[in-house]
Structure 1
């Protein structure tokens, strides 16, 4: 048989397969969702992640035409809930809205994780960045980042800083400060921000990083002193508080921030992932959502599956270095 006809037949067959796949993907996106969507929050109800999930879930349900059920599965630094989604059917009806710890940093903290973000999950949308506030007890005389570093160095072994968990950003940033100044500060991990804040207010610890939601009332009352905020830009809810970078603290530890994002099981059809991302973007562009998110101290991202994947790849080695430097390790 003429090779020309064989090649032509093969090309036509391949083209038909591509068209079939495209039509199938489009059809999936048009049909999706076929039932209520379960959005797993791997933290307790009432926290910032849970509040954001409920805000977005209400808005996204309108565009998707199906209710979004928030399912809080807390425990083990977000591992339990995230693992549920990693093992769920890859049809877009089970999602996780989580912090960067369960999607990124836990892989460097735990020797054994029941899931791998890169293998078992699809990154859908990076919703918001979550910078935090660096505060000190009023007994600490420092008022700027550079003054605080000098104070740490001059009081080696005398200071304590708090965090809301081993391996959390407040732990890693505090460890970085202590190491660079050879301050030998004592790290105390609390079970949440609330008890950490109470200890800072009481003077049991001298320094802590916390969310604007927790810190702002105490800053305004004068019960704690604010030093600065992390990240590259000032917080909308604390516009008069300079970033640590502005103050000359330019190490990557002060530039990176945590974030909140949505992921789906690996293998979720591309068109379905894009449909979810489009609905998240529409929800986050609404003025009332932006106002509520800004009041929580978060910064809305204009993201996409591709942008999220690129940002994830860029941040991965930074967090790995910070965690190794801190010496944090969990089982």
Structure 2
């Protein structure tokens, strides 16, 4: 190898290294954050989403070295707060704590929505999933999902199921059951889980779906019976409760669960998104948060943006189909 060739090769290597350095620098997290990070919760203070957000913000603040404050912007099924984040500067200092409704199903429930989650928001990570239990009164002779199906088909009037509002998962699931089981099931909407569960205990409802945190006191008190749970896995708190799929009903409509997630305005630098995801994942592994999620009947996640995007796109048509079958529309 000649001296001239060695010099030429060395020059090429240096040029290559010089060209790669900026790309490597861009791939690494920048000096972020340099100020307070605002975490927008599009629901009222004191609710389950707010409780989770505050616990997460406290943990993330320790990792980021800057305060992470909560800004509650409730209203219109999460639309007001979600819109505020979608229109915010894409710098990583405004972060959304969203639910399935605000980040996904609102697209199908509202004729006009002031934001487009696919175009105006970037998914950061799923914080947790929140499976729901299929419940019947303790006095009911129904012991499993197949029993419920036979009961609904065998009654001339069908049955009735409760939900905490039009467009909620219990409403959508009941509509799916009515269609797929070819039976009449009347939907009864309530203003919250508490009155719905009280009527189920009292026998005014045939069945419903509800969160673990709301229904567990009734289960422990022997007033309700859980016969299945949504999602793909059993819950640690209820190890003997089968999933719908394990009970013989493997429809995609039962395998999905609602979730909480972080999102930022579209255009937020990828290194910042990666930093937020990394810090959120570390926070979700803390014993304090794991215990808090267990108490709330949730399963901590911590998915990467890519994993979240894949699961989001896979769930999109399932939720779209559920809303269409239910006929639910919100103003």
TM-score by length of 1: 0.90
2:165 maps to 1:169: no
Q: Is the 1:125–1:308 Cα contact (8 Å) retained in structure 2? A: yes
Instruction: State the partner residue of 1:41.
Output: 41
Q: Is the 1:38–1:69 Cα contact (8 Å) retained in structure 2? A: yes
Provide the secondary structure at the position in 1 that maps to 2:30: helix
Residues in 2 aligned to 1:57 and 1:247: alpha-carbon distance in whole angstroms? 38
Instruction: State the partner residue of 1:86.
Output: 86
Residues in 1 aligned to 2:96 and 2:118: alpha-carbon distance in whole angstroms? 15
Q: Deviations over 1:81-140 (max 9, x none)?
A: 111110111111111112111101111111111000111000000111111011012343
Where do residues 157-306 of structure 1 align in structure 2 (5 Å cutoff)? Answer: 157-306=157-306
Instruction: State the partner residue of 2:25.
Output: 23
Residues in 2 aligned to 1:75 and 1:185: alpha-carbon distance in whole angstroms? 30
Residues in 2 aligned to 1:95 and 1:238: alpha-carbon distance in whole angstroms? 33
Deviation of 1:291 (Å): 2.1
Q: Deviations over 1:20-45 (max 9, x none)?
A: 4653564xx33211221111111122
Residues in 2 aligned to 1:156 and 1:297: alpha-carbon distance in whole angstroms? 36
Q: Is the 2:132–2:211 Cα contact (8 Å) retained in structure 1? A: yes
Deviation of 1:15 (Å): 9.2
Provide the secondary structure at the position in 2 that maps to 1:31: coil
Provide the secondary structure at the position in 2 that maps to 1:30: coil
Residues in 1 aligned to 2:203 and 2:49: alpha-carbon distance in whole angstroms? 28
Q: Is the 1:156–1:185 Cα contact (8 Å) retained in structure 2? A: no
Deviation of 1:16 (Å): 7.0
Q: Using the TM superposition, name which of 132-141 and 253-262 deviates more.
A: 132-141
CA RMSD in angstroms comes to 2.0
Residues in 2 aligned to 1:251 and 1:238: alpha-carbon distance in whole angstroms? 22
Instruction: State the partner residue of 1:317.
Output: 317
Deviation of 1:158 (Å): 4.7
Deviation of 1:210 (Å): 0.7
Q: Which runs of 5+ in 2 are unaligned?
A: 1-13
Q: Is the 2:109–2:330 Cα contact (8 Å) retained in structure 1? A: yes
